[in-house]
Amino acid sequence: MTTTGERTGLFRRAPRPSEITTPPTGTVLPPHARTGAPDVPVTSATPALPPGWEPATGTRPRLPDPSAADGAGPPQGHGAVAADGAEPPQGPPAPDDETRTGGAEGNPHPAEDRTHPPRPAQAPDVQIQINALQALCRQAFGFRLAMIALATPSALLNAAPGWSTRLVALAVVATFMASYVLFRDWERFGPLLLRHPTLLAADTLFGALLLISAGPDTTLAYVSVCTPLLAGLIYGWRGAAVFASLQGLILLLVHAALDSPRTDPAEALLLPGLCVIAGAVGSSLRNLMLRLGTATRALTTVQARLAVTEAVSAERARLAREMHDSVAKTLHGVALAADGLAGTAGAPHMDPALVGQQAELVARSARRAAAESRELLADLRREADPGQGVDVLVELAARTGDFSARTGVPATYRPTGEHAVPPVPPAVARQLLTIAAEAMENAHRHARPTRVDVHAGVHGDLLRISVYDDGTGLPPGTDLGRLRRTGHFGLVGMVERAASVGARIRIGRGAHTRGTEVRLELPLAAVTTPTETTP
């Protein structure tokens, strides 16, 4: 597969060389390549409420539990039942959840000082579901107001002159005002309606007054459909069944009282059937909202747990890279030096001077391992100032000189590019310098090079760092999967470090006829030290 670098001529790959590359900057890496995260804690936040859905304050109504509403009649007595999916009240925490004794003196340590990962964020409050149901109830009252406003002129024109017209007007005004008050101040009167279902029964009486005064054949009669709809939204399917039956019975009684020979039985059953359908729709919408809220909370919990798991995995991978690139290598050298010392000491003709040199090498390597361990621990606990930039070119030149003096391999550093490199944030600079140092160490240990060339500079909008050695190169068929399986994590760590800062790394022969080149490209937008801006 041809990569971007090959198409632009940056690298002209010879036939069948081994090469490792990362996707272009901004490409989402697969899970196995995204274990390297920046040296910042990964946090998760509970999703914010949708616009207009403010959190619970004061005496907000709490809708009844679906299981309680569906398994019993309308709620009686005082107090609202928690909605479905609400968190049960938690008991007092266990003693170990609050404090932990340590040492012989038993001094308590706060629970937040523990080293295990933080608990997932709590699920969002059921107020989201309550607000959604409140909006539906308001829509039902708005529908009733619209129906009354549209049907009143026709009902007044068809009413007989005299007391009939006045009765229709009185019923319309009473029903309209009651609906408007509930529509406007639902947050105030909603809890009363929730705690006292008899108030909804009074609303049914207003509908009956409209039916009697205007007649069941007028458009105003359709206002009675709203009562079962509200019952389904507030009390569940049993409440909807009760009020739909009550409303249907009132409609049939009104039809029977005002029996006309021209009335078709199908017309008489139309409104009761619509009441039943409205109650079923209200109950279904209520259950849908509550289940949607429960699913949303479950999804939020899963996302929080995944965020914690990903943070733990990223931290483990980062610690593994740090250990591999520092202490592990030095300890390996200590082991080799100790083996050489054991062989020299057990020889028939032991050379005291050689034994002394090898013992000094073991001691020096052990001291270096201890120093690297202290440096690693200090670096993990140090909080770097993001506003303090690092001169990567100076640090890279120093590390190149130290590598050449320590290993004896000729290594040269040469800056490239026409523009100066801006100061790099410490977290990003650490990753870049570690990748370059690891590339030089890999060349020394595995490739047997005669020279190492290091180049760094700004090219266009990229900071480019290149480490080339003229050694044996990568073995044929080298890829990250095989390196992981065989326990070789040097190149894997380099790729993960590059991905953690948003850089693209390419490991291969490049434009050379032999050897290996590690090329790292990072957008300048990622290395620019953030500055404070005033509004």
Residue 25 region, left (φ>0) first, then alpha (ψ -120 to 50), else beta?
beta
What is the maximum span of the chain, computed from C-alpha positions, in angstroms?
A: 135
- Report the candidate in 380, 385, 401 with the shortest Cα–Cα distance to residue 323: 380
Q: Report residue 185 as tokens.
A: 């101040």
* C-beta of residue 421 within 8 angstroms of C-beta of residue 464: no
Q: What is the pLDDT of residue 324?
A: 66
Quick one: pLDDT at residue 4?
A: 40
Spatial distance between the Cα atoms of 188 and 106, rounded to a whole number of angstroms: 53
Residue 325 is predicted with a pLDDT of 63
Within 10 Å of residue 136's Cβ, how many Cβ atoms?
18
Question: What superfamily does domain 1-34+386-529 belong to in CATH?
Answer: Histidine kinase-like ATPase, C-terminal domain (3.30.565.10)
CA separation for the pair 43, 113 (Å, rounded): 17
Listed residue (179, 229, 235) closest to 203, CA to CA: 179
Q: Which residues touch 124 (CB under 8 Å, ≥6 apart)?
A: 46, 47, 49, 296, 297, 300
Domain span(s) for CATH 3.30.565.10 in the chain: 1-34+386-529
pLDDT digit string, tens, across residues 358-414? 888 788 878 877 877 777 777 666 665 656 778 889 999 998 998 888 888 999 999
CA distance 436 to 441: 9
Quote the CA–CA distance of 494 and 93 in Å, as a whole number.
44
Considering only CA atoms, which of 420, 428, 426 is closest in space to residue 393? 420
* SS3 at position 3: coil
pLDDT, position 229: 83
Q: Which residues of the chain have pLDDT under 70?
A: 1-132, 151-171, 190, 206-207, 209-220, 255, 257-264, 267-268, 321-322, 324-326, 328-329, 379-387, 486-488, 527-535
DSSP state, 424?
B
In whole angstroms, what is the distance from residue 107 CA to residue 110 CA?
Answer: 10
Contact between 479 and 20 (Cβ < 8 Å): yes
Residue 29 phi, psi dihedral angles, 5° rounding: -80, 150
pLDDT confidence of residue 465: 94
- Answer whether 141's CB lies under 8 Å from 179's CB: yes
Whether residue 278 contacts residue 14, with contact meaning beta carbons closer than 8 Å, is answered with no
Q: What would the pLDDT profile of 337-359 be if each residue is shown by its tens digit?
A: 788 788 777 777 778 888 888 88
Judge contact between 464 and 521, C-beta under 8 A.
yes
Query: If DSSP codes are grouped into helix, strand and coil, which group holds residue 158?
Result: helix
Amino acid at 60: R
Q: What is the mean pLDDT of the chain?
A: 69
User: In whole angstroms, what is the distance from residue 255 CA to residue 215 CA?
Assistant: 9
Which residues are within 8 A (CB) of 279 and not within 5 positions of it... i.e. 6 or more apart?
A: 228, 229, 231, 232, 237, 240, 241, 243, 244
